[in-house]
Chain A
Amino acid sequence: MALLLKNARVIDPACKLDAVCDILIRHGEIVEVGKGLSIEKGITRDLTGKIVVPGLVDMHVHLREPGQEQKEDIASGSRAAAHGGFSAVCCMPNTKPIIDNAAQVRFVTERADEVGKCRVYVAGACTQGLKSETLSEMGDMVAHGAVAFTDDGCGIHTAGMMRLVMDYASMFDKAVMSHCQDESLVGAGQVNEGVVSTRLGMLGWPAAGEEIQIARDIAISRLTGCPLHIQHISTLRGLDLVRAAKAEGLPVTCEVTPHHLILTEDDIGDDYNTYLKVNPPLRTAEDVAGLIQGVVDGSIDCIASDHAPHAAWEKDCEFEVAWFGMTGLETMLSLILTKFVDTNIIDYARMVEMMAINPRKVLRLEQVKIEAGNIADLTVIDPEATWTVTKEDFYSKAVNSAFLGAELKGRANDVYVGGFATMEEGVIVE
């Protein structure tokens, strides 16, 4: 079965490619990239005006299955991923039960094979039950496909436990991905500590509660040699710690979410919009400016959505009762294109680095280059498409996006996974 993608602008910084050309795919593999290609049998698609990049990876999503299917499941979450332009996602282990053993890894992987619309990679838990008490069976999980480890949703409570986790994980060459949150400082914090916590009369989630664990985990990475990936970094000083670690040559990387790049604590008004309740919380305008700088200068490695779907009734309630998190799979690419690429803060190549190349590096996945011999995981972007974010447009079960109503420019048009279209012309291929 041959597929020929013609006349798109193909961008892949991994092979220094940015040109209008054609891509020929056979049996799920790229066989030729060049100008004026043609085939006798198969499908030819004219992608004039479109942009083709390596299949994007959202390395931080919550698919909620098993256990919290009222929020999302693998079928709906992977459709949301495809709809947002992703050929692969990495899902977090804080399901019910927790993905802290090989059986759970297998369940998610096999379920994704059955009902999924993108590649689903599984991050296993560092500690059993995310309790920071006992190591989980990382070796067995690796044997069954886990690509990284994290206790995402909470920080690992003590330095001693984190040392055990990273020491042990270092034998598998997998990254330990750290959700940095010092419980003793953060407690029941709801919003960034400072102006917004005072204004709204809620407990603060101080920046220091994140920065302390970033500093701690960098020190333990130095001690153990284990690769460390800081998840959803949200503060300027936290990023400076990562910069220093990189300068030192430590195996430290980090990711940022679109909402931490675009929204600030000032966006939380006295209507207590629970869609703006995220963990870590929205920070100050200075933090946002600092993070954008990190996106530009390369000190931030990845952009990930932290797609955190919730049922309507879990968000339509008191702010302090509402769950943390917002969805992101279906808005992330468009937000980055609208806010950063279209405004020339970054170019497409940098976007591809942060949303395709670097996530694969951190997750130890095989790279997808747009050259002969690579898997045909591709994302086709329509850079001129303008659209408004609406609930009705989502494939996700959840609608808790802070960007409802936003006017965006540029979005995914098609996604190919192993040469098969999972989305074509904006519609999921069933």
Chain B
Amino acid sequence: MAFTHKHLIDISEYSADDIMLLLEVAVKFKEVNERKIKKVPTLKGFTVINMFNEPSTRTRSSFELAEKRLSCDSLNFGGSSTSAVKGESLIDTIETLNSYKVDMVIVRDKHAGVPRLIAEHVDAGVIDAGDGKHQHPTQALLDLYSIWENLGKLEGLHVGIVGDIGHSRVCGSLIPALKIMGATVTVIAPPTLMPARPDILGADYVSSNIDEVLPELDVVYMLRIQRERLEGAPYPSLREYNLLFGLTQARERLMKPDALICHPGPINRGVELDSYMADHPKRSVILNQVYAGICTRMAALYLLLGGSDDGLTA
């Protein structure tokens, strides 16, 4: 099978076969990560730039580890040292990066559409590590991986996503990805946290009642709730959010026996999840997701940098 993508920006550009290949290669990288020496020389000589224009410890760490374990040379660019602080335009910054002759740019930015803008200005490939409220495709891949690993399939599953759907780049990639893989998606949130048109993302059902939907779900995907100030918040209190939408021990009786709990982290204990559910030994795959992040990001780097010339036709 051929894998011809250069960028990972919009998950909807990937077919079910592309995504399955990524997951299968991620399994092989999981094996590497189980070794005592967790590093392979595969991408020796490749240069990857981690351009994190907004703070992100987890995603950046995960990418960095993936790069190091593939023997890439990586450069962290961003944070308080970004040129934006000095008034340079993003395009000038990108052109500068391009002059460094790099092979891949991993980009996190608070503005939607930035990865595409970068792809237009660099020769390198681009991986979207989260752009504004738009997409976060590697998060979707690691989520798919965790679900697939634990339930053995994706097609036909019913996944419920609960929380701030409207401001979630995770949803922007995860919902389309689940649809590509043949799953059914229900989004569950108060209307104040819903996007204007959840159907446009691909959601099959929209609900504001978690208790009605829980018995149907194979996967309950809890999103992080921002602990914002109360004034103008889209819910009256964290307490009420937890009462209406929190996945609590009391709600377990509504869940299918083998239904999984996912969360992109970091968790707000006592808000979207209580500790019983967050740490549930059978259901919670939250730490598997973190691990899957390394494996799937290694797979993405491996496949995207693999070049389009598959001269192996014997």
Contact = CB atoms under 8 A, between A and B. Distances in A.
Check whether chain A touches chain B (CB < 8 angstroms): yes
A198 interface: yes
A425 interface: no
B132 interface: yes
B196 A313 contact: no
Interface in B192-215: 195-198, 200-201
Interface string A120-151: 00000000000000000000000000000000
Interface residues of B, number: 25
Nearest to A319: B113
Contacts of A204: 196
B172 A318 contact: no
Contacts of A194: 196-197
B114 A195 contact: no
A321 B111 contact: yes
A301 interface: no
Q: How large is the interface on A (under 10, 10 to 19, 20 to 34, 35 or more residues)?
A: 20 to 34
A200 interface: yes
Contact of B89 (A198, A200, A316, A319): A316
Interface string B70-106: 0000000000000000000111000000000000000
A270 interface: yes
Most buried by B among A199, A318, A320: A318
Interface string B27-61: 00000000000000000000000000000000000
Interface string A301-327: 000000000000100111111000000
A172 interface: no
A271 interface: yes
Interface in B146-204: 169, 172, 195-198, 200-201
A202 B133 contact: yes
Nearest to B168: A201
Contacts of B89: 313, 316-317
A202 B196 contact: no
A193 interface: yes
B244 interface: no
A198 B194 CA distance: 10
Given A316-B89, A316-B91, A200 B113 contact: yes
A204 B198 CA distance: 13
A202 B134 contact: yes
B116 A272 contact: yes
B64 interface: no
A271 B120 CA distance: 9
A204 B91 CA distance: 25
B90 A201 contact: no
A115 B8 CA distance: 52
B10 interface: yes
Contacts of A317: 89-91, 117
Given A198-B195, A202-B133, A319 B200 contact: no
A197 interface: yes
B90 A202 contact: no
A321 B109 CA distance: 12
Contacts of B10: 270
Interface string A190-212: 00011101111111101000000
A305 B111 CA distance: 28
B272 interface: no
Nearest to A202: B112
Given A318-B90, A318-B114, A201 B196 contact: no
Contacts of A197: 195-196
B138 interface: no
B131 interface: yes
A198 B201 CA distance: 7
B135 interface: yes
Contacts of B131: 201
Nearest to B110: A320
Contacts of B200: 195, 198-199
B111 A320 contact: yes
Closest 9 interchain pairs by CB? A201-B134, A272-B113, A318-B111, A201-B133, A198-B200, A201-B112, A320-B111, A198-B197, A198-B195
6 contacts: A198-B195, A199-B200, A316-B91, A317-B89, A320-B111, A320-B113
